[in-house]
Chain A
């Protein structure tokens, strides 16, 4: 799984909880990873556009408090893709852990 695929998985995981706009997605990734992972706008939005084109997320512009924001939400297809990506990721983590070994 390359960094692009990882970002896609992180976005889908954030949207699984609730629909969000771009900045909130970036903040959620940063907060949940305790600052270890960041999604710069420059990579975040092309990834969101690609996910939308594949039908994994859908978006709509909404006005809230005089501000217009495009809100992204997970689709059913996106939920299934996330479940698959999660399974793959957990397999990889177990495999790498088994090779690295070390104290349990």
Chain B
């Protein structure tokens, strides 16, 4: 397997900025090792599939990046999600909190508005993802998940625990995905 074939496998599905950086480093590595690019490079570089897997854990794929930056197939009304998360949903929750005095709705408003403030300076793609996720988590925690629990017929006293565990799990996954997005955006913005 020559260098070009190795690189094609290693950078498969990765965005151009990430692939470019890997390619530059790999070619420099082979040059320093005095290893011809047309020889079998696996002895020096290792398994391309394992490297591709390692890079996918660090970075989003080109398709995933396109989805988070453009909205992918759900592009219609994509920018609406920021308005929903930053204004419409907090306004509904605030109205609900004032009308019925539900403390949890007030807490939801506080979480959403804090989220809007904290994500203000982020890259637009990360900001949109964070606001959308926060909105979904708050609404799920307040409404959807307790209703799902209710359907099970188990004691409602455990509903907040169930909702919180699900929200923590989803938030944890989102943090990991956000770290991949942050790295990918850095690599894409730094590409030559």
Residues of A within 8 A of B (CB): 21-24, 26, 40-43, 45-47, 49-50, 53, 61, 67-70
Given A40-B44, A40-B45, A41-B46, are A46 and B28 also a contact pair (CB < 8 Å)?
A: no
Give the residues in chain A near B10, CB-CB below 8 Å: 42
Which size bracket describes the interface of B in this complex? 20 to 34
B81 within 8 A of A: no
A40 to B179, CA, bound (A): 25
Q: Mark B40-56, 1 if CB is under 8 A from A, else 0.
A: 00001111101100110
The residues of A that contact B45 with a CB separation of less than 8 Å are 40-42
Contacts of A22 in B (CB 8 A): 25, 28-29
Q: Could you tell me the distance between the alpha carbons of A21 and B118 in the complex, rounded to whole angstroms?
A: 36
Question: How many Å lie between the Cα of A69 and that of B24 in the bound state?
Answer: 8
Interface string of B6-34 (1 = CB under 8 A from A): 00001000000000011011101101110
- Rounded to whole Å, the gap between the CB of A57 and the closest CB of chain B is 14
Q: Is the CB of B179 within 8 A of A41?
A: no
- For B22, list chain A residues within 8 Å (CB): 45
A39 (CB) vs chain B CBs: closest residue: B46
B179 contact set on A, CB distance < 8 A: 53
Query: Is A46 within 8 A of B47, CB to CB?
Result: no
Sample (12) of A-B pairs whose CB atoms are under 8 Å apart? A22-B25, A40-B46, A41-B26, A42-B45, A42-B51, A45-B26, A46-B51, A46-B54, A46-B58, A53-B182, A53-B183, A70-B21
The majority secondary structure among interface residues of chain A is helix
Q: How far is the CB of A54 from chain B (nearest CB, A)?
A: 9
B interface residue numbers (CB < 8 A to A) = 10, 21-22, 24-26, 28-29, 31-33, 44-48, 50-51, 54-55, 57-58, 179, 182-183, 186
> Which chain A residues lie closer than 8 Å to B50 at the CB level?
42-43
Contact of A42 among B48, B182, B183 (CB under 8 A): B48
Q: For B55, list chain A residues within 8 Å (CB).
A: 46, 49
A23-B29 CB under 8 A given contacts A45-B22, A45-B51: yes
CB atoms of B31 and A67 under 8 A apart: yes
Residues of B within 8 A of A42 (CB): 10, 45-48, 50-51, 54
CA distance A23 to B55 in the complex (A): 18
What CA separation (Å) do A53 and B181 show in the bound complex?
A: 11
Nearest chain B residue, comparing its CB with the CB of A45: B25
Closest to A52 in B: B183
Which residues does chain A contribute within 8 Å of B28, judged by CB atoms?
A: 21-23, 67-70
Q: Pick from B10, B24, B29, B57 the residue with the most CB of A within 10 Å.
A: B29
